[in-house]
Every structure is written in C-alpha cells, then in structure tokens.
Amino acid sequence: MPLVKVNDLLRHATENHYGVAAVNVCNYETIKWVAEAAGRERIPVIIQFYPGFEKYIALKHVAAIAKEFAEKSEVPIGVHLDHSAGYGIAVGGVRDGFPSVMVDGSALPYEENVALTAAVVQAAGVFNVDVEAELGHVGSGANVDDIVNADHYTNVEQAVEFVERTGCGSLAVAVGNAHGAYVQTPNLDFERIAALRKALPIPLVLHGCSDIPHEQLQESVRLGMSKFNIATEYFRACYASVEKQVAAGEAKGNLFGLMNAAAEDVIEFVRGKMRLLNPNKFSF
C-alpha cells in the first residue's frame, strides 16, 4: 500500500483506541521481522532507526529498505528516524529519505528546545516530513532519579505552549518512563498522561517501553497514548533467538540459515507487543 504518514497513522490510532509499536531496527532482518509481524497481526507498526547506529549502517539504506517493506505491506507501516540530537541530524534524516523524524531537544533549556524544534519543523515541512519532539526529561532506566523524580516529568501547561510555538506533529513525554533497562519497575504517572491527552491536540509518544509492566502499557493506551517506542526488548529478543538457534545446532555455520531459523521467535515477540497495545482488537 502507499507509504503512510506517521502522523496520520498516529491520529488514526488515537481515534480508534490502539497503540502503535514503534520498533527500533538496525539491519535488513530486523526490519523484515517487524514488517512480517505487522502483516500477520493485521495492525499498523512504525519501523524506526536510531541515528547513533549510523556507523553500522547508513541512514539512507535503512530508510530505503524500510520504505520498500512499507510500500509492499497490506497494512500501514510508518518509517521514522528516532532521537536526532540536533538540527543537522534531523535534517540529514530528511535528506536521506525518512518521511518522519524526531528532534530531541529535551536536554536543552526550554527556549532552546523550542527554537530547535521549530527550526526542524520549518525545514521538514518543506518536504512534507512529520516531526516528533520531546518535552520533559526521558532519562536512563539505569538512573533511579530519572524514573521517580517528578521534576523531570512533562509539565502540562508548558507542553501546550510548546506545541503551539513549535508546530510539532507529535510529542514524546516524560511520565515516569526512561530509556534502556530499568533498575527498578517504573510506575507511570497516569494522571499526568490523562491531563496531557486532554490538553494537547496531537498524538502522544511514550519512549522507553521495554520492560514497562503490561498492565501499565495497556492503561496508557486506554488513556490515549498512541506511539510506544520499543528498542531494548526487541534487540534482546533478536539476540535470544539467535543464541537459541546456535545452541540447538541450527544452520551449522551457515549465517543465512541462522537468520532464517531465528526469525520466527522474533516475529512472535513483536506480535505479542502489538496485541498488548491493541486491547480492543482493532484490525485492518
């Protein structure tokens, strides 16, 4: 089907009360497995790439492969560049073919974040590229303070102003979530999620979804969160499946055979996440 705009996909998810898994990838197989899971589950997905992996594979290659899978898919697949730390990276993602990019100015002072995000929105808009921004500090799951300190969380009134001033198409928020593996179980601030959903006209994004308890993710869907970033758990599932096949003696030194043997467990992992984020069983 034609390549879907990420913002259109997220608005559809918001209106139909399901969450979209946004899965970070790093090569051909990790892209293929996500696309296959979406096709089997009959639910949209977002394939996204962290630009910090560019030394491993160029942005333009990931964008081209992911868009080809999206265009051949029978269900909507969005393609997105995750966590661009500055203007050059975000606009470079536009140049390299990503139809949606994130600019992350959350570590900057508020006014600098506004200025950076607005500049990226203006440049991306020339090419009809969607922009996700971040407000609040979504830190590291390895740092307890990043998880529990509400001073890091997204301020609702400030978020309203931020969206109005920047024109961003979706907003990643800090509500007790963090990136990477958690040192303790997170407890999301559901009251804040509900308040943000009520106050903002654009889709909301939850980063750091790996290992957040299932019931918390489903409550976030119910409260109107639309995009759920999954990286750590996905890469862990890929590694575990490859390790399992090697231990079982599959493929016997044949890398091509090993990748094929590892596929099924990973696809089923992604399908499980999709079902979790789709409690009302929406289907295309």
Going by C-alpha positions, the residue among 77, 78, 69, 57 that lies closest to residue 32 is 69
Inter-residue contact 47 to 77 (CB < 8 Å): yes
Tell me, yes or no, if 8 is annotated catalytic: no
- 252's CB contacts (< 8 A; 6+ apart) are none
Using DSSP's 3-state secondary structure scheme, residue 235 falls into helix
User: Would you state the structure tokens that stand for residue 125, as one six-digit string?
Assistant: 């808009």
- φ, ψ of residue 101 in degrees (nearest 5): -135, 155
Kindly give the residue spans of alpha helices, DSSP state H, lying in the chain.
6-16, 28-41, 59-72, 87-95, 110-126, 144-148, 156-166, 190-199, 214-222, 232-247, 255-276
Looking at residue 52, what DSSP letter applies?
A: G
Of 8, 82, 151, 265, the catalytic one is 82
Residues 151, 134: Cα–Cα separation, whole Å: 15
DSSP of 70-113, one letter per residue? HHH-SS-EEEEEEEE-SHHHHHHHHHTT-SEEEE--TTS-HHHH
The radius of gyration computed from the CA coordinates of the chain, to the nearest angstrom, equals 18
CA distances from 12 to 5, 154, 226, 229, 245 (A): 11, 24, 9, 17, 38
Active site members: 82
